[in-house]
């Protein structure tokens, strides 16, 4: 029973940090802020994490791995590239709707994570492989897959940031999926 309580507090700390990092920014969020949001003391946080950086790394690593696995899983489906891309786009929007903080966090500290996670498969690698499969099958024109992947993620992250403050559309990106899909098809060189 004690272990369950410890894990529960750890989860509450991670969830509080996630909300605050996404809303205030990582550098603007203190350990004290996280403790207040989670309903624990600073010392309780340090029982679970040696530093704020450790908490950041754990939280963001979870998202990097989750998104890389999502891209790889959909990329392995025995469908056309267009069908897989449509599934991927919808899955990313669904992930965002279920937890709007994850992608925002990845955008804030992506370079930091890339430098510390040399041994992990990153979403950029997964997306590059995903696009490469479309080129090899002849469904996409030749292109620099890393550049296209970077542009794709940059567009997704900025869409979510702007959507978060209501400048583009007051609802979920799912509400204008067709328009988003059309724009990404253009980026990839796919015809509607």
Residues 8 and 102 in one domain: no
Alpha-carbon distance 177 to 32, whole Å?
A: 39
Residues 12 and 106 in one domain: no
Residues 151 and 88 in one domain: yes
For residue 55, the enclosing domain spans 51-188
Convert the pLDDT of each residue in 84-109 to its tens digit.
999 999 999 888 878 777 777 776 66
* Higher-scoring residue by pLDDT: 108, 76: 76
Asked if residue 31 has pLDDT above 80, the reply is yes
Asked if residue 6 has pLDDT above 60, the reply is no
Residues 111 and 168 in one domain: yes
Convert the pLDDT of each residue in 54-69 to its tens digit.
888 888 888 888 889 9
Alpha-carbon distance 87 to 171, whole Å?
A: 20
Those residues with Cβ within 8 angstroms of residue 19's Cβ, 6 or more apart along the chain or in another chain: 37, 101
Residues 42 and 93 in one domain: no
Q: What is the pLDDT of residue 132?
A: 97
Q: What is the pLDDT of residue 109?
A: 61
Q: What is the pLDDT of residue 75?
A: 96
Helix (H) or strand (E) holding 170: none
Least confident piece of the model among 51-60, 70-79, 138-147, 159-168: 159-168
Rounded to two decimals, the pTM is: 0.81
Q: What is the pLDDT of residue 42?
A: 86
Sign of CA dihedral 182, 188, 189, 192: negative
Residues 103 and 64 in one domain: yes
Of the segments 110-119, 129-138, 147-156, which one has the largest average pLDDT value?
A: 129-138
Residues 34 and 77 in one domain: no
Averaged pLDDT score across all residues of the chain: 84
Residues 59 and 19 in one domain: no
Alpha-carbon distance 69 to 6, whole Å?
A: 28
Asked if residue 5 has pLDDT above 70, the reply is no
Query: Mean of the pLDDT values across residues 43-53?
Result: 90
Distance of CA 136 to the CA centre of its chain: 26
Q: What is the pLDDT of residue 1?
A: 46
Residues 58 and 6 in one domain: no
Q: What is the pLDDT of residue 162?
A: 77
Residues 40 and 62 in one domain: no
Burial 96-105 (b: 16+ CB within 10 A, else e): beebbbbbbb
Please, are residues 18 and 108 in contact by the beta-carbon 8 Å criterion? no
């Amino acid at each position: 029973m004690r272990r369950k309580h410890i894990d529960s507090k750890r989860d509450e700390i991670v969830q509080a940090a996630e909300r605050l990092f996404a809303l205030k920014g990582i550098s603007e969020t203190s350990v004290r802020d996280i403790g207040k949001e989670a309903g624990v003391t600073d010392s309780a946080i340090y029982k679970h994490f040696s530093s704020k950086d450790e908490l950041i790394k754990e939280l963001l690593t979870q998202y990097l791995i989750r998104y890389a696995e999502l891209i790889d899983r959909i990329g392995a489906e025995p469908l056309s590239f267009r069908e897989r891309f449509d599934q991927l786009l919808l899955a990313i929007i669904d992930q965002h709707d279920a937890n709007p903080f994850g992608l925002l966090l990845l955008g804030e500290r992506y370079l930091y994570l890339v430098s510390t996670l040399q041994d992990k498969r990153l979403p950029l690698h997964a997306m590059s492989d995903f696009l490469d499969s479309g080129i090899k099958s002849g469904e996409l024109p030749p292109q620099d897959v890393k550049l296209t992947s970077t542009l794709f993620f940059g567009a997704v992250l900025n869409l979510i940031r702007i959507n978060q403050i209501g400048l583009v559309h007051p609802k979920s990106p799912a509400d204008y999926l067709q328009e988003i899909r059309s724009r990404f098809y253009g980026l990839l060189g796919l015809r509607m």
